[in-house]
Structure 1
Amino acid sequence: MSVSSDTVAGWESGRRALTAVPVGQMLAYRHRLMRLGASPALLQAFERALEADVLLASALEENTTAAANPLGFMVMQRDLIEVLAWPLGGQEPEHLRSLPSPPRPRRGPSPAGPELTATDRTHFFNKMRRAAEAARGDAHFLLRRQALYLAGFDDQEDTRDWLAQRAERPSDWLSNWLNFRSVAMVSARHGDPDRLAYFIDTALSDDAGEAANLNYWANWLGETPLQLSDDFIAAPAVGPWPGHKLLDHLANGLNPEHGYIDLNIHSVWSLLQIRPNLLRSGVAARTVHDRLAMLLDRRRRTARPPLPSPAARGRAGRGRAGRRRPGKALGAGCRWRTRVGPSMCMSGLLVGGEMVLQATDGSFSARCVDLPIKAYQELITRR
């Protein structure tokens, strides 16, 4: 590296500010690390860590105005937020958990991750609350939203109630939708799933809400370019992003212990209706396929079916009431629900030529080849 071991130790401990190194010299260090075989994923996280350090330092400054606060300059994505939240009590970033252990331990005692003192954490959260309260009006909505999100990492008992009380009721649809989502997600993180359930039932009940939900997810996971405002979320249709990262993320969150599982399940259904080809290959597709029984059962218990797009409704050949017409073949990724007796309904999802069926009372499940709907009804009746 052409630097002394004392300099490196100072960077590791924070005694020397790495962000004080000139940009050109920092790029030279990065190239040397590449030549020495450093992990590309770790180098990418290194860039985000430098940016997070600047954001933390700015947040801890006393005289940062709303106009100069960097939290209002861009829509932050997951790779930055996870590194930023790590020393605030968040978990280790997901893309770092699978990295191999270093070949040699660091010198002396060292923490498992970046740390802030208890005083600095308290100061940071107080600053986030003040920034959110001071950021009024449309011009500072992005700053307010992201400050509220970061304030949600505070483990104080009053955090959830404070967030609910500070949620504005703006007149425009997008700001109201984003406020609703932020409060619901923070409440779920603090152990209250009811707000998230209500958000799914109401804010995701039409095509606009479904498109906003998927556009939000896609940007959060880096499937879209960096955005300077939230306007892209309110686009009338889902963007042209591919969806592979999104399906992979949602599939990994299909765990009954996951705090956001209901939103993840709802988002999987919505995503597969507009991107059915995602089920044809890949680890995420296999994960979804393996957990279909759990998905269908939880969808039955939560009773929150997402609305398909008009195009999907047309391809599926649905009638006016939203049910399948007898004799029509099902399209890939299409969900189906029908009554097969006086007291039993069946629901299913077509995946790769297979129909996974689930009785709403849990008494029957099966996997069948792709057949017209009438054949399924006859098969279930015989069963």
Structure 2
Amino acid sequence: MTSQGAGTLTAGRGNAEHGREGRISGYVLKVIRESTGMTQERFAELLGLDVTTVQGWESGRRPLMAISTGTYLSLRHWLLRLGVPSRLLFQLDMALEADRFVGHVLGTEPGKVRTEDHPLASWVITRPFTDLVAWPFTRTAPSAMAGTARGTGRRGPVATSPSLLPDERAHFFEHLKVVAERADTGRADGMLLRRQAHYVAGFDDTAETADWLTAMQRAEERRMSRAGGWTPSWAVVRSGAHSLARLGDREGLQHFIRVHLADEVCEVANLNYWAYWLGEVGEPQLADTFMIELRPDVWRGTELLRHLTGKLNSANPYLDVVAHTLWALVMLRPSTLDSQTMDALGNAAVRTLDEAIASAQSQRELEAVIYALRMIHRG
């Protein structure tokens, strides 16, 4: 770099096997650059690079993953000194993980999948990672990046998200379906792979995938019914119900709440998963069994409460599980409530009841939440 008191960056080479994909991290870098108001030319000048290098990074033609670790850390430190918020740098780091996953999927033929080596079998994915992976398909920017770019005066059509070609998209979802079907259901990592491949495949909005998700959900329901209580199949059914709700089938999610959240162990498992998904559980988890092994008192619940309150609206396909989880959280952890959160939750609950969209069970639970808030306020 030629300013900010830093040295010039050199675009080194990294491991080709892991560095073939770079569209998501490149697009995140583009958003970060535009958030500073800089053109590619000015950005390259300050970094001490040719503008074609920056263009290659942002387009994914020269993947960020292919540069050396030292070069990437220099870039990251320079962005931090430039005033880029740490939340955006975290998105850039996570985008590299997303690119690694997408590269693995696109680089592996569905018929040659080795499920034991699959990235989705190695850790319990989080919301930031999933939002980035889903971005090319949903065209919805991760919440941490929404409204970030300022723009730099360019004219003409501008891409609003990373993108995959139609054949790449078809390959991506076919790969995930094969993985979900072939996963070893006798192993914890196999069930984790089955659940997560099933869930990510749900970002395909075709009728074919909707039918496949429905068939998979029925098969997993049968598997779960033979065991009873919490099992890894419970986690698969939970994710499947959410996928189907996103595609318009709210009855499946209502059935899951009514039938599979009927005991305390499963109720706590649901809360633990939400807390991990939203980052209140900081340690990465390697298997879905954390849902029943984790003590609920290790996470605070304030971020979970804030998030769920903001999602309490009739347009949300997950409305019923949001209402139910809020009810369970208030009953289990009333200590998460302060005057500000109580006001926000109370107003959201009343508004949602007035909209009369929620299921009968959700309406009863929201009424119970409002009553509990009143009792806490009086006390």
TM-score class, shorter-chain normalisation, is 0.7 to 0.9
- Please state how far the C-alpha of 1:299 moved relative to its aligned partner: 10
Distance change >3 Å, CA 97–CA 45, structure 1 → 2: same
Where does residue 327 of structure 2 map in the other structure? 269
Counterpart pick for 1:188 among 216, 229, 245: 245
Identity of aligned residues (%): 37
Please tell me whether residue 67 in structure 1 is matched to residue 90 in structure 2: no
Q: Which has the larger radius of gyration?
A: 1
State whether residues 342 and 373 of structure 2, in contact with CA within 8 Å, keep that contact through their aligned partners in structure 1.
no
Please tell me whether residue 144 in structure 1 is matched to residue 202 in structure 2: no
Where does residue 30 of structure 1 map in the other structure? 76
Q: Partners of 2:344 and 2:212 in 1: how far apart? A: 38
Distance change >3 Å, CA 299–CA 242, structure 1 → 2: farther
**Secondary structure at 1:267's aligned position in 2?**
helix
Where does residue 59 of structure 2 map in the other structure? 13
Distance change >3 Å, CA 249–CA 138, structure 1 → 2: farther
Q: Partners of 2:84 and 2:270 in 1: how far apart? A: 36
- Please state how far the C-alpha of 1:183 moved relative to its aligned partner: 2.0
Please tell me whether residue 97 in structure 1 is matched to residue 137 in structure 2: no
Where does residue 121 of structure 1 map in the other structure? 169
State whether residues 265 and 295 of structure 1, in contact with CA within 8 Å, keep that contact through their aligned partners in structure 2.
no
Distance change >3 Å, CA 10–CA 106, structure 1 → 2: farther
Which structure dedicates a bigger proportion of its chain to strand? 1
Please tell me whether residue 250 in structure 1 is matched to residue 308 in structure 2: yes
Please tell me whether residue 349 in structure 1 is matched to residue 367 in structure 2: no
Counterpart pick for 1:302 among 360, 373, 379: 360
Which structure dedicates a bigger proportion of its chain to helix? 2
State whether residues 82 and 90 of structure 1, in contact with CA within 8 Å, keep that contact through their aligned partners in structure 2.
no
Q: Which amino acid aligns with 1:155?
A: D
Where does residue 198 of structure 1 map in the other structure? 255
Q: Partners of 1:185 and 1:41 in 2: how far apart? A: 27
Where does residue 345 of structure 2 map in the other structure? 288
Where does residue 135 of structure 2 map in the other structure? 86
Distance change >3 Å, CA 49–CA 186, structure 1 → 2: same
**Secondary structure at 1:161's aligned position in 2?**
helix
Greater mean alpha carbon deviation, residues 101-110 or residues 284-293? 101-110
Q: Partners of 1:300 and 1:190 in 2: how far apart? A: 17
Q: Partners of 2:165 and 2:68 in 1: how far apart? A: 27
Distance change >3 Å, CA 293–CA 41, structure 1 → 2: same
Distance change >3 Å, CA 216–CA 299, structure 1 → 2: farther
Distance change >3 Å, CA 98–CA 277, structure 1 → 2: farther
Q: Partners of 1:2 and 1:64 in 2: how far apart? A: 42
State whether residues 205 and 306 of structure 1, in contact with CA within 8 Å, keep that contact through their aligned partners in structure 2.
no
State whether residues 75 and 227 of structure 1, in contact with CA within 8 Å, keep that contact through their aligned partners in structure 2.
yes
Q: Partners of 2:113 and 2:155 in 1: how far apart? A: 37
Q: Give the length in aligned residue pairs.
A: 319
- Please state how far the C-alpha of 1:153 moved relative to its aligned partner: 0.8
Where does residue 92 of structure 2 map in the other structure? 46
**Secondary structure at 1:92's aligned position in 2?**
coil
Q: Which amino acid aligns with 1:260?
A: Y
Q: Partners of 1:174 and 1:156 in 2: how far apart? A: 30
Q: Partners of 1:119 and 1:28 in 2: how far apart? A: 36
**Secondary structure at 1:153's aligned position in 2?**
coil
State whether residues 128 and 150 of structure 1, in contact with CA within 8 Å, keep that contact through their aligned partners in structure 2.
yes
Q: Which amino acid aligns with 2:105?
A: A
- Please state how far the C-alpha of 1:300 moved relative to its aligned partner: 9.1
- Please state how far the C-alpha of 1:2 moved relative to its aligned partner: 2.1
Unaligned ranges ≥5, structure 1: 308-332, 337-346, 355-368, 371-383
Q: Which amino acid aligns with 2:250?
A: P
Per-residue deviation, residues 101-158 of structure 1 (Å, max 9, x unmatched)? 3352469754111111111111100110111111122321111111000111111102
Unaligned ranges ≥5, structure 2: 1-46
Q: If the length of structure 1 is used for normalisation, what is the TM-score?
A: 0.76
Counterpart pick for 2:214 among 149, 164, 185: 164
Per-residue deviation, residues 239-298 of structure 1 (Å, max 9, x unmatched)? 42001111111011111111011110111111111221222144x443202123245666
Distance change >3 Å, CA 98–CA 273, structure 1 → 2: farther
- Please state how far the C-alpha of 1:34 moved relative to its aligned partner: 1.0
- Please state how far the C-alpha of 1:206 moved relative to its aligned partner: 1.6
Where does residue 211 of structure 1 map in the other structure? 268
**Secondary structure at 2:312's aligned position in 1?**
coil
Runs of 4 or more consecutive aligned structure 1 residues displaced over 6 Å after TM superposition: none
Q: Which amino acid aligns with 2:253?
A: L
State whether residues 346 and 373 of structure 2, in contact with CA within 8 Å, keep that contact through their aligned partners in structure 1.
no
Q: Partners of 1:104 and 1:303 in 2: how far apart? A: 50
Q: Partners of 2:150 and 2:272 in 1: how far apart? A: 37
- Please state how far the C-alpha of 1:351 moved relative to its aligned partner: 4.2
- Please state how far the C-alpha of 1:17 moved relative to its aligned partner: 1.5
Q: Which amino acid aligns with 1:26?
A: Y
Q: If the length of structure 2 is used for normalisation, what is the TM-score?
A: 0.77
State whether residues 305 and 326 of structure 2, in contact with CA within 8 Å, keep that contact through their aligned partners in structure 1.
yes
Greater mean alpha carbon deviation, residues 77-86 or residues 40-49? 40-49
Higher RCO, 1 vs 2 (CA within 8 Å, ≥6 residues apart): 2
Q: Partners of 2:163 and 2:342 in 1: how far apart? A: 37
Distance change >3 Å, CA 189–CA 52, structure 1 → 2: same
**Secondary structure at 1:112's aligned position in 2?**
coil
